[in-house]
């Protein structure tokens, strides 16, 4: 058996394991919360009827009103099918992890669970895999076969770039999805918030956006290990740091606290739900809490 065949079989096994776990979590935990948290966010035009006392004047259809010389309003109803988009960071920093998994593995499990929940509610699911460019766009579709395809891409995809630009998937989402959708932006957000604030300001009012940060505890906490060579997994640059110095560890921690506050402030400014999940953590309670909060 060739090495390529072995790798393909191992990938298929991993896909199956992820699917089984995601389906179990969706069935046992998320089904009700997902339905109430993300149902009915989109509104579709249904019909035109005569204006009645108490109707919102902003819903008046002026063309029909002029035709019949009597006020008529547009009636909208909740769309039965929702479009869910996964915007997933595939940059080099996602391969980092000091616990039982990498950030990429955690992001894949979270994305798979959301995807399974969406399909079980007859919603369509799509994905944008990005670095500092769109590495792959998967148009939204329904069905188990489509989910397995997305999971397979998340597990086995090899990006061309290792850098990050959060503005890229947001700008792409605005271009490719015209109607309101629910979008999950999953990244470690190891980038300056100012770099994507403008894109966020355009996308957030149109789409129902949820930001999920996946991180490792050592992204923001340096252990005392003496002189250590640290490599930026996106730029490839390396520097030596004396981690035995408390001032160095504190400066490192303070910087990341400032970054976190900046992210919270930015997402709050545009009413975007923001959740942080770290590697090695049971992410289920936090996701359930997020869904309940949105219900």
- Sorted by where each begins, the domain ranges of the chain are 3-38+80-294, 43-78
DSSP states along 136-174: EEEEEE-SHHHHHHHHHHHHH---S-----THHHHHHHH
Tens-place pLDDT, residues 32-45: 666 666 654 555 55
Q: What are the tokens at 175?
A: 């271009």
CA nearest neighbour of 164 among 124, 104, 209, 97:
104
CA distances from 5 to 8, 41, 116, 203, 257 (A): 5, 44, 27, 42, 45
Handedness of CA 278, 281, 285, 291 (dihedral sign): positive
- The pLDDT of residue 146 is 93
Neighbour order of strands in the sheet with 134-141: 134-141, 124-130, 83-89, 182-187, 208-215, 273-278
Tens-place pLDDT, residues 42-84: 555 557 888 888 787 888 888 888 888 889 887 665 555 789 9
Q: Quote the CA–CA distance of 267 and 204 in Å, as a whole number.
A: 9
Checking if the pLDDT of 240 tops 90, the result is no
pTM: 0.78
Q: What are the tokens at 240?
A: 């030596």
Percentage of the chain beyond pLDDT 90 is: 34
DSSP states along 171-187: HHHHHH--S--EEEEEE
Residue 19's contacts (CB-CB under 8 Å, 6 or more residues apart) are 112, 116, 147, 148, 151
- The mean pLDDT of 235-248, rounded to a whole number, is 77
- The mean pLDDT of 117-143, rounded to a whole number, is 92
Domain 3-38+80-294 sits in CATH 3.40.50.410: yes
Tens-place pLDDT, residues 248-259: 787 777 777 788
Checking if the pLDDT of 133 tops 90, the result is yes
Checking if the pLDDT of 285 tops 70, the result is yes
Q: What are the tokens at 178?
A: 């015209």
């Amino acid at each position: 058996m060739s090495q390529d065949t072995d790798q393909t079989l191992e990938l298929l096994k991993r896909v199956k394991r992820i699917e089984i776990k995601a389906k179990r979590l969706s069935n046992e935990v998320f089904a009700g919360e997902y339905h109430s948290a993300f149902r009915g966010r989109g509104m579709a035009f249904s019909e035109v009827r005569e204006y009645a006392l108490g109707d919102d004047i902003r819903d008046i259809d002026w063309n029909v009103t002029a035709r019949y010389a009597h006020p008529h309003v547009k009636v909208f109803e909740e769309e039965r099918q929702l479009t869910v988009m996964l915007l997933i960071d595939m940059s080099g920093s996602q391969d980092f992890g000091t616990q039982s998994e990498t950030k990429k593995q955690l992001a894949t499990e979270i994305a798979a669970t959301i995807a399974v929940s969406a399909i079980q509610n007859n919603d369509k699911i799509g994905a944008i895999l990005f670095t500092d460019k769109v590495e792959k766009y998967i148009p939204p579709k329904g069905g188990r076969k489509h989910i397995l395809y997305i999971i397979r891409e998340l597990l086995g995809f090899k990006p061309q770039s290792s850098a990050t630009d959060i503005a890229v998937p947001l700008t792409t989402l605005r271009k490719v999805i015209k109607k309101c959708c629910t979008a999950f932006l999953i990244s470690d957000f190891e980038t300056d918030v100012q770099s994507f604030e403008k894109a966020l300001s355009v996308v957030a009012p149109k789409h129902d956006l949820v930001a999920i940060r996946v991180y490792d505890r050592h992204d923001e906490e340096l252990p005392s290990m003496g002189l250590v060579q640290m490599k930026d997994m996106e730029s490839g640059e390396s520097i030596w740091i004396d981690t035995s110095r408390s001032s160095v560890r504190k400066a490192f921690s303070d910087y990341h606290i400032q970054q976190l506050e900046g992210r919270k402030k930015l997402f709050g400014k545009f009413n975007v739900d923001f959740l942080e999940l770290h590697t090695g953590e049971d992410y289920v309670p936090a996701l359930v809490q997020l869904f309940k909060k949105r219900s």
